[in-house]
Amino acid sequence: MAMLAGFLTLLGVVGVVVSLVMMVVRSILKREWPKKKIWTAGAISIALFIVGMVMGISSVPNGFEAGRQAAKEDVAAPASTTPAPLPEKATQEQGKEQKQETNQGQVTQTNAEENNKPASVDAEKPKFIPGIAAADIKLNLEKWGLKFTGPRPLSEEVGGGYLDDGKVKDPDTGVDLSCTISAETPTKIKTAIFRVDGSLMAGTISRDIFIAVTEGFLGYCATLPYDGAEPAKAKAWVEDNVEKIKIGQPISSTIGSVNYRLAGNEYFTFLTIKPEGSPE
């Protein structure tokens, strides 16, 4: 309806303009155009213009009502509660930021744990008996008559280094006295094992004689002059515990940074001396 009204109005305006132009041209150029026809065309154009205007005005209320109804529908429609999805790039950036914050939190926690560690945890325990060489052990035991075979290299499959064995038979009792030195180098002693073996003499000598020989030999071996050693304390500890040994129940003690362990049975006793940090 509005489109038709607009068309009629436009047609009327054009007709009026054309009629006026023709009247002006006729007057100036003295054309013999029928005056009656020009006035008729002008009248028709004016009529079309009036009809178009009337139709346009009558369509305004309808348009207004339609617009108002549409506005009511928009207001009545519930707003969507679904949030708009985040752009993919923004989501990825948030993920990266969260990951960085998590990593930073883990690093901070790790640093705090490291700072709270007691000093004793960080201090590395020695892996070798400190301040003593293989020659020191061998020279002292040669006073007991032990003869050493000399260092025998070990394969890398068993950790490398070398072993050196020495032994002697006690001339008074027939008890075997021996020593095995495990070292990485001549000055890096990993373990020293001292043995008193009276198994073959069990029916010949008494338990008391065996204990006396054991206390004498192992008590002497316990006095190794390593750094931090307490020879008197170590010897007394051996003498006090030799008779207490039971099968499967070794007795241990730590003096300085070195561990002492006694084990054995009724006629066989051995003393192992090694650093606290030794994995063996």
Q: Which of 58, 73, 88 is the last residue of a domain?
A: 73
Q: What is the pLDDT of residue 20?
A: 72
64's tokens:
């207004």
188 and 257, same structural domain? yes
- Does residue 95 lie within any of the structural domains? no
Query: In whole angstroms, what is the distance from residue 242 CA to residue 265 CA?
Result: 10
Q: Which domain holds residue 232?
A: 134-275
Q: How confident is the model at residue 122 (pLDDT cuts 50, 70, 90)?
A: very low
- Report, as an integer, the average pLDDT of 233-237: 97
160 and 259, same structural domain? yes
- Does residue 126 lie within any of the structural domains? no
Helix axes 2-29, 35-76, angle to 10 degrees: 150
146 and 271, same structural domain? yes
pLDDT more than 70, % of the chain: 59
- Report, as an integer, the average pLDDT of 208-234: 96
- Does residue 154 lie within any of the structural domains? yes
Domain count for the chain, please give it.
2
Q: Which of 23, 54, 73 is the last residue of a domain?
A: 73
149 and 51, same structural domain? no
55 and 139, same structural domain? no
48 and 148, same structural domain? no
Convert the pLDDT of each residue in 35-91 to its tens digit: 666 667 767 767 766 766 766 666 545 554 554 555 455 544 444 444 444 444 445
- Does residue 174 lie within any of the structural domains? yes
152 and 63, same structural domain? no
209's tokens:
């004689």
- Does residue 115 lie within any of the structural domains? no
Q: What is the pLDDT of residue 168?
A: 97
- Does residue 270 lie within any of the structural domains? yes
Q: What is the pLDDT of residue 147?
A: 95
- Does residue 116 lie within any of the structural domains? no
Q: Minimum mean pLDDT among 74-88, 90-104, 188-202, 211-225: which range?
A: 74-88
142 and 39, same structural domain? no
Specify burial of residue 213 (Cβ count, 10 A radius: 0-12, 13-18, 19+): buried
42 and 138, same structural domain? no
**Average model confidence (pLDDT) for the chain?**
78
Convert the pLDDT of each residue in 139-163 to its tens digit: 999 989 999 999 999 888 877 899 9
Report the DSSP pairing between strands 147-148 and 258-265: unpaired
- Does residue 43 lie within any of the structural domains? yes
250 and 138, same structural domain? yes
Q: What is the pLDDT of residue 43?
A: 75
CA 112 to chain centre: 15
221 and 151, same structural domain? yes
Q: Is the Cβ–Cβ distance between 196 and 173 less than 8 Å? A: no
Q: Which of 35, 55, 73 is the last residue of a domain?
A: 73
Residue 213, pLDDT above cutoff 80: yes
Residue 252, pLDDT above cutoff 60: yes
